[in-house]
Amino acid sequence: MKFVPKFVAPRLNLSSYRKALHRHMMDIVSQAISVWLEAVLMEIPVWSGASRATFMHLAQVIHYNIPIAPATQSRVGTGIGEGAGGLEADDGKGRYVFSYSTSLPWLIWNEYHNANVDPDPTLFYRVLKEGPYNFQMKGFQAFRSFASTVDLPPVAPHIQAVRVKV
């Protein structure tokens, strides 16, 4: 009797795993943006809507709805014009980054100052919510808390058995 062994070795289907990893990371970064936006928007009151509207560019990337109901004349357009944000996803480099920035003067001032005690010299309104807002730090903390729970997708579904010739 002749015995002919058949050996099988595992092989990772790297292409399949990279596609799954990219889908997973896009989902994770979308969730991270949502968590970050929820944390920062809790700190930003609505008066004219301009401050909250600075986050619109980033929110649109994940179809996140920012509630804005101005209590006075709407300045939502001003906020949109003074804000920027987006998502950079490069699966080839494994780089997934979201960004936000603003040049809205009163939001920047209120981030670092109590404007009712230390008013912005260019503005004359009393603020509804005293600063400093510290929304950047609160967003960072929410992001870090979320990121600590993130795992990579499992590798097992992308492993194939490949026959090894003897």
**What digits encode the pLDDT tens for the residues 52-68?**
999 999 999 999 999 99
Distance CA 29, CA 38 (A): 14
Cβ–Cβ < 8 Å for 106, 120: yes
**What digits encode the pLDDT tens for the residues 39-97?**
999 999 888 899 999 999 999 999 999 999 888 889 999 999 999 999 999 999 999 99
- CA dihedral of 16, 18, 22, 24, whole degrees rounded to 10: 70
Task: Name all contacts of 128-132 with Cβ < 8 Å and 24+ positions apart.
Answer: 128/45, 128/47, 129/43, 129/45
Q: Encode burial over 133-163: b for 16+ CB neighbours within 10 A, e otherwise.
A: bebeeebeebbeebeeeeeebeeeebeeeee
pLDDT of residue 15: 93
Q: Give the whole-number percent of the chain exceeding pLDDT 70.
A: 94
pLDDT of residue 96: 96
pTM for the full model? 0.86
Q: Is 133 helix (H, G, I), strand (E, B) or coil?
A: coil
pLDDT of residue 1: 78
pLDDT of residue 127: 64
